[in-house]
Structure 1
Amino acid sequence: MTQSIQQNLNLIEHHLKQYDLWSVQTPSSEQLSSTTPFAYDVMPFEQWLQFIFIPKIQFLIDSEQALPSSMSISPMAEHVWGQQTQLQPLIELLKATDKLFND
């Protein structure tokens, strides 16, 4: 499972870059410490994926810590990007990622 999750993290990064959603500017420490789900109060969803989700899951994998046993990030992706047909592959990837954590 860890290998599949790692592959999905790499693909999420690839898709964010492909769709020009990858940010070169790191959010402030205040933004990164948001406790609001998906930090939606201080950053766009794609930045949450890039600066919070991917690094956190990567840290857990690298340090061989327990991964979350359930996750539901694709509904937020559908909410934010649902009308952008070009982003459907990314949304589907996030659905697959949710499924990996929830199985």
Structure 2
Amino acid sequence: MDFHQQIRQLLFEVEQAMQALSMWQAQPPAREAFDSVEPFSIDTMCPEQWLQWILLPRMHALLDQRAPLPQRFVIAPYFEQAMPQATRLLVLLRQLDEALNIDFPPGSPGAGA
């Protein structure tokens, strides 16, 4: 499994964990919620909304385009504070952090911008 496939698999597992925890929402937040400039849209979305409606679609879009992925990626600490009871989800978010913080040699297929 290549790097992009590993990341996509982690994203699918995040989705499944959110569904198992009844965090998955059928309807997106109001359009204005997407206009936030705050980290994690903290002023307009709850943590699970940001994961479902911002992070997951953006990461899937990057993967679909085979675009560079973020390399200095740390989201788990925020979610550890916001939802400490979501153990399985937190494990997956830590794995995503670890996977996206690998140093790639310049010009390698996994290297970001």
TM-score range, shorter chain: over 0.9
2:93 maps to 94
TM-score (norm 1): 0.93
Q: Sequence identity, in percent? A: 34
SS in 1 for 2:6: helix
**Which of the two has greater helix per residue?**
1
Q: Which amino acid aligns with 1:79?
A: Q
2:80 maps to 78
Give the deviation of 1:54 after TM superposition: 0.2
SS in 1 for 2:90: helix
1:2 maps to 4
Counterparts of 1:33 and 1:8, CA distance in 2: 27
Q: Which amino acid aligns with 2:54?
A: I
Deviation above 2 Å: which 4+ runs of structure 1? none
Give the deviation of 1:32 after TM superposition: 1.2
The aligned runs of 1:1-103 (5 Å cut-off) are 1-82=3-84, 84=85, 87-103=86-102
2:109 maps to none
TM-score (norm 2): 0.85
Give the deviation of 1:56 after TM superposition: 0.3
Q: Between Structure 1 and Structure 2, how many residues are aligned?
A: 100
In our comparison, the structure showing a higher alpha carbon Rg is: 2
Counterparts of 1:58 and 1:32, CA distance in 2: 18
Cα offsets for 1:16-51 (capped at 9, x unmatched) = 000000011211221112110001111110000000
Cα offsets for 1:42-73 (capped at 9, x unmatched) = 11100000000000000000011111111001
